[in-house]
Structure 1
């Protein structure tokens, strides 16, 4: 099964990425995922279910510890045709 993850961390800071956003980006970029796209207003990644779910666990734990007050995420099952 392949999954697509979309997430944001808050609070936002338009002048400089907050620590929780930097940590979230590092977690996703270090995970064994495909099609990683990080940006100031949203982030996406795709990959097999196990690496995505492992990355989500690490993302939540580390970004909350780094000061995130809210993490919004959505996970969708994707078909091979959707890529």
Structure 2
């Protein structure tokens, strides 16, 4: 949806609802795209490495090759 600046000022609440429902709204100035109206996204918290340290266990044979599986990929059937 493309609206001019005056229409956007007059209908900001309605346009905001449309954006939150997934519609794309472009605000034009002098007939040319000027702004994109987008929903606010909260700030992402910085990743904290080691958060699950000691909580994830791998089987002792985790890195051992399973011949039946690898042969299917390599065409050695």
Shorter-chain TM-score range: under 0.3
Q: Which has the higher contact order (CA 8 A, sep 6+)?
A: 1
Specify which structure has the higher proportion of helix. Answer: 1
The structure whose residues are more often strand, as a share, is 1
